[in-house]
Amino acid sequence: MNTATALASPNIALIKYWGNTDNLLRLPASPSISFNLAELHTRTTVTWESDLAADYILINGQEATGDSRDRVAHHLDHVRKIARHAGFARVESSNNFPAGTGIASSASAFAALSLAATAALKLQLTERELSILARLGSGSASRSIPGGFVAWYTGAHHQDSYAETFAPPEHWALVDLVAVVSREHKKTGSTPGHAIAVTSPLQAARVATAQERFDRCKQAILNRDFRALASVVEQDNHVMHSVMMTGTPALLYWEPETLHIMSLIRELRQDNGIDVCYTIDAGPNVHCICTAEAAGTVEAALDTLPGVLEIFRATPGGPAQLVAS
Ligand code: PMV
């Protein structure tokens, strides 16, 4: 049977990706750093079937239609091209975390899809080739292929923009406490968001200074220096959101509760010496990054805020992998 099942985790970026030099190839304007969220995953089974007249896609038990179906089918076109295969596939995908929680499911979805779809055709791609393929579906999916602490290089061409591990998951026991303040779907998704980035007068400055922040963050992780990490993670996050807020149209992802959490986290660190910092993706929910020792205190503090609906706890995880169907 031409079938395979893959598991992949979403990831949280400590140095952010925002804006492309090539929107179709999703070549990023700047390098980024992330770790996979071990406890969360997308599980995807791909079966290439000779009697299908079109790709058939089930996401969380529902048949995908419209844009989400087209995005998956378009990604399968890349696989068909690489494999020189003409048939269609049945894709069944499910997440063990709910959609609309500020945890990007496109990263784990396209990482799992890339691995399952190629393995089902008996293609044996290297980790680098898989990262490049996953990037075409969603930029951040390139970072969900390798495990541990991951760097995604800008690259000048399709073949040299990929992500790779620079430290294994057990290198540093960090925790991501995702404070959910809204379950609404984001107003502007990241694909149109990346295209808007270039309209901000601040994007050129963000891109020009990104390598320095990338280097500082990588060094802080290698040294397990939390203070240095906190300083660069929050700065990079503020720089990205400044670009979002100053483009045309302006993208304002924060809610009042987002700011409440940001000030609580800074207070915990600056006034109480707790090892915690925050980073926020294209939505209002806040990823509170802390050490394992600090996690209990941070979670208890977040629990006291009335606007926090739910808290997910995740730790650095491994690479995308094939599992029994
Ligand atoms: O991979 P995309 O297109 O969903 O973009 C992800 C963008 C951010 O989550 C805001 C930042 C990042 O680096 O993950």
Q: Evaluate whether residue 191 is within a structural domain.
A: yes
Q: Evaluate whether residue 325 is within a structural domain.
A: no
What average pLDDT does the segment 158-162 reach?
97
Residue that is last in its domain, among 136, 168, 200: 168
Q: What is the structure's pLDDT at 265?
A: 98
Confidence band of 183 (pLDDT split at 50, 70, 90): confident
- C-alpha to C-alpha distance for 90 and 5, rounded to whole angstroms: 12
Please check whether residues 44 and 181 belong to one and the same domain: no
**Cβ(45) – ligand 1 distance below 6 Å:** no
Please check whether residues 138 and 255 belong to one and the same domain: no
**Cβ(42) – ligand 1 distance below 6 Å:** no
Please check whether residues 241 and 126 belong to one and the same domain: no
Q: Evaluate whether residue 323 is within a structural domain.
A: no
Please check whether residues 41 and 122 belong to one and the same domain: yes
Mean residue pLDDT of the chain comes to 96
Q: Evaluate whether residue 183 is within a structural domain.
A: yes
CATH number, residue 68: 3.30.230.10
Domain assignment of residue 147, given as a range: 2-168
Q: What is the structure's pLDDT at 111?
A: 98
Does 262 score more than 70 pLDDT?
Answer: yes
Confidence band of 231 (pLDDT split at 50, 70, 90): very high
Q: Evaluate whether residue 227 is within a structural domain.
A: yes
Tell the residue nearest (CA) to atom 14 of ligand 1.
13
- C-alpha to C-alpha distance for 143 and 151, rounded to whole angstroms: 7
Does 199 score more than 80 pLDDT?
Answer: yes
Please check whether residues 195 and 290 belong to one and the same domain: yes
Please check whether residues 39 and 152 belong to one and the same domain: yes
Burial of 220 (0-12, 13-18, 19+ CB in 10 A): buried
**Cβ(213) – ligand 1 distance below 6 Å:** no
Please check whether residues 128 and 218 belong to one and the same domain: no
> Atom of ligand 1 at shortest distance to CA of 16?
13
Please check whether residues 185 and 104 belong to one and the same domain: no
Q: What is the separation of C-alpha 239 from the centre of its chain, rounded to a whole number of angstroms?
A: 18
Q: Is 311 helix (H, G, I), strand (E, B) or coil?
A: strand
Q: What pLDDT, in 10s, does the model give residues 272-324? A: 999 999 999 999 999 999 999 999 999 999 999 999 999 999 999 999 999 99
The preferred substitution site among 11, 190, 245 for testing ligand 1, maximizing ligand atoms within 8 Å of CB, is 190
Residue with the two structure tokens 């149209």 = 249
Please check whether residues 133 and 239 belong to one and the same domain: no
Q: What is the structure's pLDDT at 100?
A: 63
Residue that is last in its domain, among 144, 168, 192: 168
- C-alpha to C-alpha distance for 318 and 179, rounded to whole angstroms: 23
Rg (CA), the chain: 19
In whole angstroms, how far apart are CA 49 and each of 2, 270, 290, 294?
7, 58, 46, 50
Measure the CA dihedral 70/185/161/207, to 10°: 140
Q: Evaluate whether residue 240 is within a structural domain.
A: yes
Please check whether residues 89 and 130 belong to one and the same domain: yes
- Alpha helix stretches (DSSP H) within the chain: 66-83, 105-120, 127-137, 190-197, 203-222, 226-245, 256-272, 295-303
